[in-house]
Every structure is written in C-alpha cells, then in structure tokens.
C-alpha cells in the first residue's frame, strides 16, 4: 500500500503544490504583495491571526461600479487553523490534538506593520505546511477504523468502497471542505482517485489528502453567482462563506450551509436571520477581541524581564509570584471591556475610550489599579476617582516591556493607531549622532526631562512636537500601568534607586486642534474622543482588518458609512454589523 507522502506520490502531487502557490497570479485584481496586499500595507496591527476574511464591494448607498476589485486570498493562518478544526469536528476529530506538531509549521502571518490578515503572501513554506498537514490528517483518519467510520461512514472501511459511498462522503466531508457542493467534474476526479487505489483505506486517504490541498479549501474562491463578468451577486454558498469568515474566521457551519442549499440566505429575511445568529455567536466576540488586539498591539508581551532594574521597580507587587497573572489579565480586561460595550450593551466608541469601570477579575491586576475586583457578572465597580478613562489608561495598553515608561512609543501609538496619522520614519543618516540611542538615566532627571532634552534638536523636534505630548501626559502611569505622581529613578544596570522625582504630566497634545494644556490622562482620552479623527480611524482599521488590505480611494464610501454611523452616535455594535448588513456585502467585483 503506498502512502500519500511516498516519493512517487509526491511527484504526482507536485503540480498541486505549484498550483496552490501560483493561484493568486491567475486572479483579476490585487493579490499577494503589491500596493494593497503585502505586509507593509496600512498601519495598525494590530493583529487577531486575523479579524475578518471576506471582501466586499461596498455598503449601504455605495454604488457597485465604484467598488474596489476583490482579490483572491488564501485563508489566513487563523482561518486555516479554524477551518481545519471545524471541518473535522463533526466527526469528533480534535485537529489541535491529533496534529499538534504539524500545526506549528504553519508560517505565521506578519502583523508587525499592519493586521495579520493583510499578509497575503504564499510561499514554499506555506505549501510545505499545507502538504504535511494534509498528509498527517489523512493518515490519522484512515489509520484508525473508528475514526475513518466517523469521518466517512462505515461503508468507507471495507476493502472496496462503492461509488455511492464515495459520493456520500463528498456530500458530507467534501461539502464542508469546499464550502459548497462539488460539481460533476470534481466528483468524477475523486471517483477516479478511489478507483485507482489498491484498497479502501488508500482510496479514502488519497481523497482526504487531495481535498485538503485543493484551491477551494485553501483560498477564498468566489466565482459563482448572478451577473456579468465584472459584478455579480454571490450565490448562497459564497455568501455563507463570506459571512462566516467575516465574523467567525472559519468555515460556515451546518446551518449556514443549509441556508445556502435551500436558498433562504439569498432572501432579505433569511439573510437577516443568519446575520443575527452569526453575530450573536461567541466566535464573533473572539474575532472582535482579536481586532482590538491587533489594532492596539495588545498581547505582544509574554513575560516580565528578569533584570535587577525591573526587580527593584516591581518591588511591592505580586509580579514574579507563581500564581500571578498580570499580563494575561491585562489583555483579558480589555477583552471584557470590549464585550461589555459591544455585546452586553450598545456602547459607543466614547464609552470604550472614557469608561472608568473596572473590568478585571484578577486580584493581581486590581492591586495595580488600587481598585476592587470585578466579579464578572454584576455592574463593574469604579476605578479610583480621576485616575482612569478607557482603553489608553489600562495596563494592557500601557505595558512597555521593562522598567521604563517610553513616552515616545506611547505617544506614537496614540497618533498612529487611534488617530491614523502618518508618522514619517526618520532617515538615520540625517539625524544627530546618537539620536536613536536611549537617553541615559541620571539622578536629576525624570524620564520626561531626559526625552525632552533628547528630542530638542531641530532635526528631531518637527516630529516629536506631535509625538511627545500625548506620551508625556501618560507619564501619570509607570511601565506596568500603575498610577503615580512621583517617578522612581532606577539605574538600568545595577537596579539601584538613584532618586524619587515629581512627575510633570502637563502638555499640549493638540489632538483636537486646540492649544489646551492637558495634565491628566482622563482629559487626554477626552481629547481623542473630541478630535473628530477617532471614528474615521476606527472605520479604516476595521476595513483593513476585515478585507485584508489597505484602503484606497475607491473604498471611501465604504469607510465613510462606518464612520458616519459612529459620528452620529451609533454603537460599536452597529458599526461592526454595518458592512455585512448592507446589500453590497452580497455582491462582488472581480475586474
């Protein structure tokens, strides 16, 4: 019996791998790399393996002929993992357990400069990882008769499965894998594979292996529907896939596929019912949480540094205790805040940016805040008066990775990620000597004073006059997000305390265009809300995270309607549903 990974079979499957890698170049529109498809497109990572996965021509009143071209995209790393999980789950196969080692070989999507989903590259490493996973999963299923029966039925365990048995398998597993019924040509292809196999086990192994390497499994393929060569209405199966990947980052479930099969998803009433159901599913909450993670670059830190300076800095906290959970709790708190104002309540962006409620259930994190611990169900308690307002004052946003507060990084993050302002990258050759070095710690200067002196040079001041002020206001918080009025100056090598100096957090951020002096982070958060830029930036970031590319001028209408919803006082919930609820989510432009 030959194995799918034997050299002879590898030679026969080489064309499949070449097709997988070459496919994006065969599709009209933007593909991997290029202006809008590569990892450098856009700003804001922020982000979740990926939030969102469909591509849409426009929303609301946006004309379809003004819609941007939809690219062919591979499944993102997160979508691929989730889809493998959900395709095998009905048979009781736990993919994450059965092929755990092979899953680690999937190349991670690059989210350093943008959302992870924007990284549409297809490399040899992807092809190898997909090949190995297809081989491992097909082997896992067919090497155990009970598992094979669970996946393909008892008829598949006999020496020579009948054509009817193969058809039944394609109607079930094949439908989940391709997210649509297989056509006659595809069915004939898999029947031929079965007929050429030496026995039933090899037949099923080869079919499963081939299905998991097929382009309809690995890519978002939307080519069926009613219309012309340029614009058409998606058919039921493509619409079900778009909806599920948009909100769940995974393949459609049985109910979505059933709605596609009976056509109900193509009716206004049927589609609205599916949209409501999909949005209320817990998987949508996870996708939204990942959007915030990548937008605001949360969760990048996995452990605190083990240095003398940080040990001195963290004295008096439970950091380092085996049961302490500060980092995980900080990210979980922002997730809870987002859920509260998106799903439990119809909150606005202002609520997300200005709330003084406590959303941590961790006593360790609450101790950093000096607050009560939230029980997770009742009304959240309040933070200490005047100390916190919204996301930018939470530990998850404020963590720096060491004992330094890094005001320039904090200020740049606000400008770039919450305001969507373009910050030029300086040319090192044009900077003064040592300009990129961190200013040394001295016993007579606060962090703010050191960075003010560092960036006072005329070459630096142009950019830093906008970057520094928001970061200086956030000097109210130390490197682990504790509120403070004094700074503990610590020698970065020895960990010796050199001085305790008063904090000056007053600055003129001009986020709202005014010359108002701001001295508290709560006032800074209010300036962000009043700036008139937050809603538009949210709309852009959500577009990028949803469609997997940077926006261009043809997307102005799509983004503008999301922004208008928020500016007019609409909830975050309304904004997240806006694209999928509009008629043009159901259509596609390909050229």
Other C-beta atoms within 10 Å of 546: how many? 27
d(CA 170, CA 154): 14
Label residues 456-481 b or e (16+ Cβ within 10 Å = b): eeeebeebbebbbbbbbbbbbbbbbb
For residue 114, the cross-strand partners are none
Q: In what order do the strands lie in the sheet with 225-227?
A: 225-227, 231-234, 587-589
What are the Cα distances from residue 338, in Å, to 345, 348, 375?
10, 10, 16
Give pLDDT tens digits along the chain (591 positions).
444 443 334 434 444 444 454 444 333 333 333 333 333 333 333 333 444 444 433 344 565 454 456 678 899 999 999 999 999 999 999 999 999 999 999 999 987 778 999 888 999 999 999 999 999 999 999 999 999 999 999 999 999 999 999 999 999 999 999 999 999 999 999 999 999 999 999 999 999 999 999 999 999 987 776 766 667 788 999 999 999 999 999 999 999 999 999 999 999 999 999 999 999 999 999 999 999 999 999 988 999 999 999 999 999 999 999 999 999 999 999 999 999 999 999 999 999 999 999 999 999 999 999 999 999 999 999 999 999 999 999 999 999 999 999 999 999 999 999 999 988 777 777 777 777 778 899 999 999 999 998 887 766 766 888 899 999 999 999 999 999 999 999 999 999 999 999 999 999 999 998 999 999 999 999 999 999 999 999 999 998 898 888 887 777 887 888 999 999 999 999 999 988 887 777 877 765
- Position 472 scores a pLDDT of 96
pLDDT for res 49: 42
Residue 576 gets the label, from left (phi > 0), alpha (psi -120 to 50) or beta, of: alpha
Tokens of 494: 């020895």
Give the residue from 427, 397, 419 showing the smallest Cα distance to 409.
397
SS3 368: helix
Q: Tell me which DSSP letter residue 40 carries.
A: T
CA dihedral angle for residue 285, residue 287, residue 288, residue 290, rounded to 10 degrees = 120
Backbone phi, then psi, for 145, in 5-degree steps? -55, -35
Can you give the pLDDT at residue 227? 66
Rounding to the nearest 10 degrees, give the CA dihedral for residues 191, 193, 199, 203.
Answer: -90
Ordered by start, the domain boundaries in the chain are 7-46+72-234, 308-315+347-398+422-426+435-529
């Amino acid at each position: 019996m030959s194995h799918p990974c034997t050299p002879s079979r590898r030679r026969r499957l080489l064309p499949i791998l070449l097709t997988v890698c070459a496919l994006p170049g065969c599709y009209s529109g933007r593909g991997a790399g290029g202006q809008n498809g590569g990892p450098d497109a856009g700003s804001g990572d922020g982000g979740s393996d990926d939030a969102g996965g469909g591509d849409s021509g426009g929303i609301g009143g946006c004309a379809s002929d003004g819609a941007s071209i939809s690219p062919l995209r591979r499944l993102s790393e997160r979508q691929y993992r989730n889809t493998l999980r959900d395709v095998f789950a009905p048979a009781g196969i736990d993919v994450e357990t059965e092929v755990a080692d092979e899953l680690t070989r999937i190349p991670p999507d690059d989210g350093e400069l943008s959302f992870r989903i924007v990284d549409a590259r297809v490399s040899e490493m992807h092809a190898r990882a997909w090949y190995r996973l297809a081989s491992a999963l097909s082997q896992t299923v067919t090497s155990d008769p009970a598992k094979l029966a669970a996946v393909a039925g008892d008829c598949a365990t006999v020496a020579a499965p009948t054509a009817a048995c193969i058809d039944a398998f394609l109607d079930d597993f094949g439908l989940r894998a391709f997210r649509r019924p297989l056509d006659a040509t595809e069915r004939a292809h898999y029947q031929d594979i079965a007929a050429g196999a030496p026995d039933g086990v090899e037949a099923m192994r080869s079919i499963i292996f081939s299905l998991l390497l097929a382009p309809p499994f690995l890519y978002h393929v939307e080519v069926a529907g009613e219309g012309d060569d340029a614009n058409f209405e998606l058919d039921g199966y493509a619409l079900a896939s778009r909806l599920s990947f948009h909100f769940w980052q995974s393949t459609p479930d049985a109910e979505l596929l059933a709605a596609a099969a009976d056509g109900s998803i193509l009716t206004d009433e049927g589609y609205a019912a599916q949209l409501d159901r999909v949005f209320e599913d817990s998987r949508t909450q996870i996708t939204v949480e990942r959007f915030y993670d990548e937008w605001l670059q949360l969760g990048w830190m996995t452990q605190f540094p083990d240095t003398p300076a940080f040990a001195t800095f963290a004295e008096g906290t439970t950091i380092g205790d085996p049961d302490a959970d500060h980092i995980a709790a900080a990210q979980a708190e922002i997730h809870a805040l987002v859920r509260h104002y998106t799903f439990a309540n119809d909150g606005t962006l202002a609520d997300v940016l200005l709330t003084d409620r406590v959303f941590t259930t961790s006593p360790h994190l609450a101790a950093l805040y000096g607050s009560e611990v939230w029980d997770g169900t009742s009304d959240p308690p309040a933070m200490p008066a005047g100390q916190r307002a919204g996301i930018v004052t939470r530990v998850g946003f404020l963590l720096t990775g060491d004992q330094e507060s890094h005001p320039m990084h904090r200020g740049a993050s606000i400008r770039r990620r919450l305001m969507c302002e373009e910050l030029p990258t300086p040319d090192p050759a044009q900077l003064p000597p040592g300009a990129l070095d961190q200013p040394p710690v001295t016993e007579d200067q606060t962090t703010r004073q050191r960075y003010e002196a560092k960036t006072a040079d005329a070459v630096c001041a142009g950019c830093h006059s906008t970057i520094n002020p928001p970061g200086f206001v956030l000097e109210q918080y130390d490197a682990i997000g504790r509120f403070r009025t004094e700074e503990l100056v610590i020698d970065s090598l020895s960990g010796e305390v050199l001085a305790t100096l008063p904090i000056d957090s007053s600055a003129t951020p001009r986020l709202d265009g005014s010359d108002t002096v701001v001295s508290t982070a709560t006032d800074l958060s209010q300036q962000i809300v009043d700036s008139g830029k937050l809603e538009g930036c949210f709309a852009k970031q959500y577009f990028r995270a949803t469609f997997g590319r940077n926006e261009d001028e043809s997307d102005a209408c799509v983004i503008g309607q999301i922004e208008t919803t928020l500016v007019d006082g609409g909830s975050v919930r309304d904004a997240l549903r806006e694209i999928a609820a509009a008629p043009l989510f159901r259509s596609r432009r390909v050229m």
